[in-house]
Amino acid sequence: MKHLLQSIIAVVLCACGFSAMAQMSYGGEPKSFKYTVSEAVPVIEIQPTDVAPLLAEDATIQKGERAYRIGVTHDVQYSMENTGRIDILPDGGTLWRLSYKCEGATFSSILFNEFSIPDGAELFFYTPDHEFVIGKFNNKNKMEDGTFFPQEIPGDQFFIEYYEPANAAFHGTLKMSRISQGYRDFFHIYDEANNSTDTDEDESIGDLKWGQPGEAEGTCHPNAICYDAQWHDQIMANVLYTMSSGGYIYMCSGSLVNNTARNGKQYMLSADHCYQSGSWTFYFKNHSASCSGTSAPTTYTASGSSTGVKARDNGNSSSDFMLVEISGTINPSYNVFLAGWTNTTAQPTNPSQCACIHHPGGDIGKCSIPVQIGVASGYTKFWATTWATATGTTEQGSSGSPLFNKDKLIVGQLYAGGSSCSSPTAADIYGKFSNSWTNNNNSSNAKKLKPWLDPINSGATSLQGEYLNTVGMTNFTQVVNALDVYPNPSNGNITVSGNFSSMDGTCNVYDMVGNLVYSSQITLSPEFTLNLNNLTNGMYMLEINDNNNVFHSKIIIGK
């Protein structure tokens, strides 16, 4: 396992390593790594979970019934006042440490129901081998309700380390009310054990194999990276999120989405049946770096809670949708994408050019390509999608993931269905984005998307996606008209076709941070050629303006 020690400022991504950059942590190193201090840290042992009945119950749950369950929680009542070890460091500061051990857990975490620390104080979490380290966290990480919870930490034991400087304005308060214990292994610890050549390590980790590890049940789902050339932006909008509620931990899939104000609101679209009240953690960029890869980063995270839900309605009265505003800051270094959408009722065409990006079984990001998309029989609020084994299906955990049309705009989110790698022609049901838009002109803003995704009341029928870091920089109109561009990728010589309303137009090309790199007045026809081979290799946004409409397409140049 790679060393995940964060050692740089949160908004800068180290180019030479794989650093844990989670929940706007602020760099540095735990004091105990620097100073000679006792290793005799108290360990609170949590009763192991009887997983068998949980797995048996999970096996009866179908897509659309509830979010995918991955762990359990236990109530605790601990604080710096009643447990842990305190040391005084040479600089006069106070070091408090405590360890939790959840025997057999695949991951664990903690909820601070009271979190108040002074300026200069630092909080870290790490595994016993120091291979996974997150922090530092400080008083800026406190949630609006006065709580704080870090992301899930791999393995069955972790350490908490709190440093308070000698000149602190006040003595900090850390009260812990809940410990999380995972039994689904989306950190792939069991995979690590399988691949290890250390016999002792195999023995200590091998016990973590409880039923299905944190991987998809089937093997037919291509890694999202396999489709990066076509779907890079939308992959960067993909979200895996966990929810701690009612004694359990759940997960689902979703996608960040843009809004017409283009103001960088951190909205995520998912499914209503995924909803669980409580604390939530959002994982970004959880994708393998190769088509054959089996693991991915789990340190690109942000925090939030069910109070961030802006609109939702179920699959009986509506199209099973949920829109959440993520309250915790998404680290700019993640470079996430806010996906585009269309609220038109048009049936998606060219299914082989459409996609679903999701996390089956809590696995790393996958990209499945439909064979057919139609109106679900008897379900006018839903799209029905079938698949092929060669190009993937969906599973439990995929719920809430977006269905993109050929123009790379969201047209729905996964509700239910019977598809699997062994039954790819069994239909999956996606709630129509167009139905969720006004929810049959529902009077409540909490039951429709329009007030949130069109806050300026533009009347837009479609909206292009943008990167969160540069949202609002590119000047495009709200209505998106897609271009057909081929070949793509190309050497810069491309053919463009579109339904243009005039013969005169402007061609603009933007790089992926929003800089205009090419602009020219052009003559338009239903199909014409462009020579862009002066541009360097890379990904660009091609924009054609016919004086009435603006058309967009992502292009890739590789010579």
DSSP letter string over 107-126? EEEEEEEEEE--TT-EEEEE
> In sequence order, which residues have a C-beta less than 8 Å from that of residue 153 and are 6 or more positions away?
107, 108, 109, 125, 127, 132, 134
Residue 191: predicted pLDDT: 54
Give all strands (DSSP E) within 117-214, no chain letters: 122-126, 133-137, 153-154, 157-164, 173-182
Q: What is the DSSP letter of 470?
A: G
Residue that is written with structure tokens 């038109």 in the block: 344
Please choose, from the candidates 272, 306, 326, the residue with its C-alpha nearest in 3D space to the C-alpha of residue 436: 272
Q: Assess whether the region 31-182 and the region 483-557 belong to the same CATH fold.
A: no
> Strand, coil or helix: what is 272?
helix
Sign, CA dihedral 113-183-58-359, equals positive
Contact 228, 311 (CB under 8 A): no
Please choose, from the candidates 543, 541, 515, 518, the residue with its C-alpha nearest in 3D space to the C-alpha of residue 531: 518
Q: What is the pLDDT of residues 475-491, one digit of tens each?
A: 654 444 567 888 989 99
Q: What is the pLDDT of residues 44-74, one digit of tens each?
A: 999 898 999 999 999 898 888 999 999 999 9
CA distance 387 to 75: 43
Residue 484: predicted pLDDT: 82
Residue 500: predicted pLDDT: 86
Residue 184: predicted pLDDT: 87
Residue that is written with structure tokens 């402007």 in the block: 506
Residue 24: predicted pLDDT: 54
Taking the chain, what is the end-to-end CA distance rounded to the nearest angstrom?
36
Q: What is the DSSP letter of 22?
A: B
Contact 125, 158 (CB under 8 A): yes
Q: What class, spelled out in words, does domain 31-182 have in CATH?
A: mainly beta
| Domain spans in the chain, listed from the N-terminal domain onward | 31-182, 341-436, 483-557
> What tokens appear for 195 in the block?
């691949």
Residue 208: predicted pLDDT: 34
Q: What is the DSSP letter of 370?
A: -
| Segments of the chain with pLDDT less than 50 | 1-23, 193-214, 477-480
Contact 342, 405 (CB under 8 A): yes
CA distance 276 to 69: 11
Q: Can you state the percent helix, strand and coil of the chain, rounding each to 5?
A: 15, 40, 50
Q: What class, spelled out in words, does domain 483-557 have in CATH?
A: mainly beta
Residue 476: predicted pLDDT: 56
Q: How many other C-beta atoms can be found within 10 angstroms of the C-beta atom of residue 536?
A: 10
CATH label, 341-436, candidates 2.40.10.10, 3.40.50.970, 2.70.170.10, 3.40.50.2300 = 2.40.10.10
